[in-house]
């Protein structure tokens, strides 16, 4: 379906769905043999990693567009060799869609690396990476995906760090707009991503295990839930869902530029070695 037609159909397809954000009701622990736990009556979820296994969970619901917010507290201390993923993904196939946060562990005292990516129809190569401007292990911070038919906004504590626009109709850049996605998160070991914060490689120090991450305050009340092959949204409430066409105001655009100038450490749109025949077309769009 062309994006122009999709936008014409918005009043009949999309609206907000209210959720109380209880982990017991909204998520399933999918692997880890007890290393993942839901606590405090569903208000808190924890994942753990040791030298035997990591752990993970996924949402019971599928979404086709949404404003998804979750508070995470990352692994403290020497977390080198650990990776926390927090992402949206459609059913896995050769043509799946995915929107990613990944938090790459570090030696104690070094900054975490936040990895972001967008995959459409099984193809990615759209990585941007950042350092955080705070210690994400000392307290909970909010990590958000705003995914609507026009753009994807990655945000941290309400500050945008990345925008990926829908340029499918104007430039032929694939955009995730037709496959419903679930929320996933894992805490695992990934040797191919281990880093000491300065570009080197450091093995996981299993004497520090178990490694633990915590989650709270999940919020999907501004979302369109996919159920039995159809959206739960309707035209009656679509008019009260401005998030479906949200874009950054001038203050948010300035905040985005500041974060990218000061904390971005890798941008695929600057990687001429990776793209020797020319950068992807969306890289020309500000």
Q: How many domains does the chain have?
A: 1
Q: Examine residue 209 and state whether it is found in any structural domain, yes or no.
A: yes
| Average confidence score pLDDT of the chain | 88
Domain housing 258: 18-284
Query: Terminal CA-to-CA distance of the chain, rounded, Å?
Result: 26
What's residue 3's pLDDT? 35
What's residue 285's pLDDT? 87
Residue burial 161-174, b: 16+ Cβ < 10 Å; e: rest: bbbbbbbbeeeebb
What's residue 232's pLDDT? 76
What's residue 197's pLDDT? 44
What's residue 190's pLDDT? 74
pTM of the model: 0.89
Q: Give the C-alpha separation, 98 to 138, whole Å.
A: 29
Q: Examine residue 86 and state whether it is found in any structural domain, yes or no.
A: yes
- Asked if the model's pLDDT at residue 34 lies above 70, the reply is yes
C-alpha torsion 166→169→174→177, nearest 10:
60
Mean per-residue pLDDT for 17-34?
84
Mean per-residue pLDDT for 240-265?
94
**CATH number, residue 183:** 2.60.120.200
In three-state secondary structure terms, 118 is strand
Q: What is the pLDDT of residues 53-109, one digit of tens each?
A: 999 999 999 999 999 999 999 999 999 899 999 999 999 888 999 999 999 998 887
Q: Examine residue 231 and state whether it is found in any structural domain, yes or no.
A: yes
pLDDT band at 9 (very low <50, low <70, confident <90, very high): very low
In three-state secondary structure terms, 173 is coil
**Which run of H or E residues covers position 212?**
strand 211-227
Q: Examine residue 122 and state whether it is found in any structural domain, yes or no.
A: yes
């Amino acid at each position: 379906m062309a994006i122009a037609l999709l936008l014409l159909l918005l009043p009949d397809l999309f609206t907000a769905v209210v959720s109380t954000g209880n982990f017991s009701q909204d998520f399933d622990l999918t692997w880890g043999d007890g290393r993942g736990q839901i606590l405090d009556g569903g208000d808190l979820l924890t994942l753990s990693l040791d030298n035997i296994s990591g752990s993970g969970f996924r949402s019971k619901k599928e979404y086709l567009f949404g404003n998804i917010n979750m508070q995470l507290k990352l692994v403290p201390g020497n977390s080198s060799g650990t990776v926390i993923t927090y992402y949206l993904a459609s059913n896995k196939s050769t043509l799946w869609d995915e929107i990613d946060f990944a938090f790459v562990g570090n030696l104690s005292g070094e900054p975490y690396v936040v990895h972001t990516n967008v995959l459409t129809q099984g193809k990615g190569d759209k990585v941007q990476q950042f350092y955080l401007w705070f210690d994400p292990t000392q307290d909970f911070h909010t990590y958000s995906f705003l995914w609507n038919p026009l753009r994807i906004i990655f945000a941290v504590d309400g500050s945008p760090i990345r925008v990926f626009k829908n340029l499918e109709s104007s430039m032929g850049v694939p955009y995730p707009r037709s496959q419903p996605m679930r929320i996933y998160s894992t805490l695992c070991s990934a040797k191919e991503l281990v880093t000491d914060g300065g570009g080197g490689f450091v093995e996981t120090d299993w004497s520090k295990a178990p490694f633990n991450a915590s989650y709270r305050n999940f919020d999907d009340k501004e979302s369109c839930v996919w159920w039995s092959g159809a959206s739960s949204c309707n035209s009656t409430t679509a008019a009260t869902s401005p998030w479906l066409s949200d874009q950054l105001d001038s203050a948010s655009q300035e905040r985005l530029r500041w974060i990218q100038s000061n904390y971005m450490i890798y941008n695929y749109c600057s990687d001429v070695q990776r793209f020797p025949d020319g950068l992807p077309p969306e890289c020309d769009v500000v």
